Amino acid sequence: MASLLPFATPPAPAPARLSAARHRWGLLGVSVVLFMAGLDSNIVNVALPTLARELHQPFAAVQWVVLSYLLVTTAIMAAVGRLGDLLGKKRVYLAGTLLFTLGSLLCGSSSSIGLLVAARAVQGIGGAVCLALSYAVGGDLVPPERMGRTIGLLSTVASVGMTAGPTLGGLLLTWLGWQAMFLVNVPLGLLAYGLLQRSLRAPGPQPGVGVDWAGMGLMAGWVTCYTLGLTWIETDGLASPLVLGLLVAAAGGVAGFVAYEQRVRQPFLAPHVLRHGPLSASLLASLLVQAIMIATTIVLTYFLTGAAHYSPARIGLLLSVGPLTTALLSPFAGYFSDRFGAQRIMLAGVGLMALAALSLTFLPPVPSDWLLGLRLVLLSLGFTLFRTPNNALVITLAPLAERGLVSGLLMQTRTLGQITGAALVGSVFALLIRRAGFADVSQASVPVLVRSTHGACWLIASLALAAVALVYASSRRASTPDS
C-alpha cells in the first residue's frame, strides 16, 4: 500500500522478510513487552497505602511513585518513537526493554521513597519506548493486508495486561510484599529481550538525518506542564496559581514548539505529518475516545458509590465488563478492519459509543446490574471497534521512515486523552455538585448526585458525537477521488 504521507526524511529500507518461525517469535516478544507495559500502568495503585505505611511517608509523597512514571512516559513517547526511526527500531526497542527491566529491578530493590520515585522514572523511560514502538515493530513484521489482525492481537494482549494489573498486584502485595509487584517484570523483560534479539530484522540507522534534540525537549516540556496542570486541577481547582501557571506554560510551550519546528531544517515532528488529514483525524479521534472511556469510569464510580450505594467489589465487577469485552473482541475487530476497511469499522464503533453514552444520561438512581452492564458492553464494543482499526490505520498510513514517530504520537494521544478526560469530567462533576450547594461529593444528596451524573454523561455524549463527526468527515474525505 502506498503511503499518503510525503517523506520528510529519506525512505528507510524495508525490513528483511522473516521466516514464519521468526515472525511468530517476534510477535510473541512484542506481546510480552506490551503485556508487561500494560500490567505496570496500574499495578502499583493498589499498593499506595502499603507504601505510605512501610516507607513512613504521607500520601502526597507516595503518589509520586505513580506520577513520576506517568510524567516520563507521556512526555517522551513521541520522541523515543522518532529515535526508533532514526537509530533503528530494533536497537531502540531492545534498549527500552532492557531499561524497563532494569528500572523494575531498581524499584524492587529501593529502600526509600526517593530511590523508588527515581527508579520509577527510569522505568518510565523504558516504558515509553515499549509503548511507543510496539505497534510499529509489530507492524513491520506483517504485510499491510494483515495489519488489522496483528494490531488486534497486540491490543488484546495490552488489554489483558491492564485488566490483570490490579488483581495481580493485590495478590503479589498480599503474598510477597510490594517489591514483588516490580520484580515480576524482570523475568518477563529478559524473556522478551531474548525473543526480540533473535527474531527482529529491523533496518539500521537512517544515514544523513540528524536528531532534533531541542524539538524533543520542547515537546517534553509542554506535555509535562499540561499533564501536571490537569493532574492537580482536580485537587487545587482551576483558580490555583500553580495550576494556571502550568497551563499557561503548556500553552506557551506549544506555541514555541510549533514555531521552532517550522524553522529547523530537520524537525523532530515535521509539519506535514499533522497536516495529513486522515492521520491527524485518527490521532484526534483517539484522544476523544480515550477521554470518553476514562470519564465514564470516573463518573460511574462516583454515581455507584454515592447514589446507588454499591460495594467496591460490586463496582469493580461491573466495571470489569468493559476491559473484558475489549480483550475478547479486539482480534475480531482487527479481522473486520482487514475485511471491510478500517474507517467503516471505526465509524460503527464511535456510533455505538455515542449511543451508549446517551443511554447513560437516563440512569435511574438505582440501576439494575444487567442493564448497566449492557450499556458498558455497548460502550466497550464501540471502543474496541474503533481502537483496533484506528491503530492499524495509523500504522499503515505512516511511511516506514516515520512509523516509529507516528506510533509514538498515537500512544501519546491515548495517554493525553485519559488525562484530559479525567480532569474535564472531574471538574464538571465537582462544579455541578458545588452549584447544588454542597462542598464535596461525599456530602451531596442522592438526587444531586444523580443530576450531576446525568450532566457529566451529557458531556461524555457530546465528546462521543464529536468523535462520530470527525471519523465520518475523515472517511468521506478519504473516499473522494481527489483525496
> In this predicted model, what pLDDT tens digit does every residue of 454-474 receive, in sequence order?
999 999 999 999 999 999 998
Banded pLDDT at 204 (limits 50, 70, 90)? low
pLDDT tens track for 338-383: 888 889 999 999 999 999 999 999 988 888 889 999 999 999 999 9
10 lies in a domain?
no
Helix axes of 147-175 and 113-140: crossing angle, nearest 10 degrees = 160
Averaged over 153-179, what is the pLDDT?
83
Of the chain, the end-to-end C-alpha distance in Å amounts to 15
Q: Are residues 442 and 337 in the same domain?
A: yes
CA 480 to chain centre: 31
Query: Please, is 147 exposed, middle or buried when counting C-beta atoms within 10 Å of its C-beta (0-12, 13-18, 19+)?
Result: buried
In order, the DSSP letters of 254-313 are: HHHHHHHHHHSSS-SS-HHHHH-HHHHHHHHHHHHHHHHHHHHHHHHHHHHHHTS---HH
Residue-level pLDDT at 480:
56
> How much is the average pLDDT of 53-70?
86
pLDDT for 7 beyond 70 = no
Q: Report the pLDDT averaged over residues 260-278.
A: 83
Task: Specify whether 313 is located in the same domain as 440.
Answer: yes
d(CA 380, CA 382): 5
In this structure, what C-alpha cell is assigned to residue 379?
460502550
* 11: helix, strand or coil: coil
Q: Are residues 275 and 410 in the same domain?
A: yes
- Which residue in 267, 175, 233 sits closest to 431, CA to CA? 233
- Whether residues 140 and 275 share a domain: the answer is no
**Does 177 score more than 90 pLDDT?**
no
Strands (E), 407-469: none
For residues 192 and 97, the answer to whether their CB atoms sit within 8 Å is yes
Interior angle at CA 110, CA 105 and CA 113, nearest 5: 135
Q: What is the DSSP letter of 238?
A: T
* DSSP result, 452-471: HHHHHHHHHHHHHHHHHHHH
Say what the pTM is: 0.85
Whether residue 60 is found in the same domain as residue 177: yes
Residue 343 lies in a domain: yes
pLDDT of residue 206: 66
Beta strands of 98-143 (E only): which ranges?
Answer: none
Q: Is residue 220 part of a domain?
A: no
**DSSP state at residue 390:** H
**51 and 178 in contact (C-beta within 8 Å)?**
yes
- 196 shares a domain with 274: no
Last residue of a domain, one of 200, 226, 244: 200
Does one domain contain both 370 and 450?
yes
Q: In this model, does residue 325 exceed pLDDT 80?
A: yes
Q: Stretch 391-397: mean pLDDT, rounded?
A: 87
Residue 446 within any structural domain of the chain = yes
Question: Does residue 479 fall inside a structural domain?
Answer: yes
The rounded distance, in Å, linking the Cα atoms of 114 and 73 is 19
> pLDDT class for 481, splitting at 50, 70, 90?
very low
pLDDT: which is higher, 43 or 479: 43
Q: What pLDDT shows up at residue 4?
A: 40
What CATH code is carried by the domain that includes residue 316? 1.20.1250.20
**Higher pLDDT, residue 214 or 366:** 214
Is 325 found in the same domain as 185?
Answer: no
Contact between 165 and 69 (Cβ < 8 Å): no
Q: Within the chain, what is the greatest distance between any pair of CA atoms?
A: 67
> Are residue 194 and residue 287 in the same domain, yes or no?
no
Domain count, the chain: 2
Percent helix, strand, coil in the chain (nearest 5)? 80, 0, 20
For the residues 58-66, what does the mean pLDDT come to?
83
Alpha-carbon distances, residue 475 vs 281, 341, 345, 381 (angstroms): 10, 10, 11, 20
According to the model, what pLDDT value does residue 16 have?
46
Across 151-161, average pLDDT = 86
156 found inside a domain? yes
The last residue of a domain, from among 161, 181, 200: 200
pLDDT band of residue 272 (cuts 50, 70, 90) is confident
- Number of C-beta neighbours around residue 22 at 10 A: 17
The percentage of the chain sitting over the pLDDT mark of 70, rounded to a whole number, equals 93
Same domain, 318 and 465: yes
Please tell me whether residues 169 and 285 are part of one structural domain: no
Q: Is the residue at 250 inside a domain? A: no
277-312: burial string, b at 16+ Cβ within 10 Å, e else: ebbebbbbbbbbbbbbbbbbbbbbbbbbbbbbebee
Rg, the chain, Cα only:
22
Alpha-carbon span 376 to 380, nearest angstrom? 6
Confidence of residue 479 (pLDDT cuts 50, 70, 90): low
Take residue 288 and report the three cell numbers written for it: 476523544
Residue 55 lies in a domain: yes
Domain containing 114 equals 19-200
**Last residue of some domain: 200, 229, 248?**
200
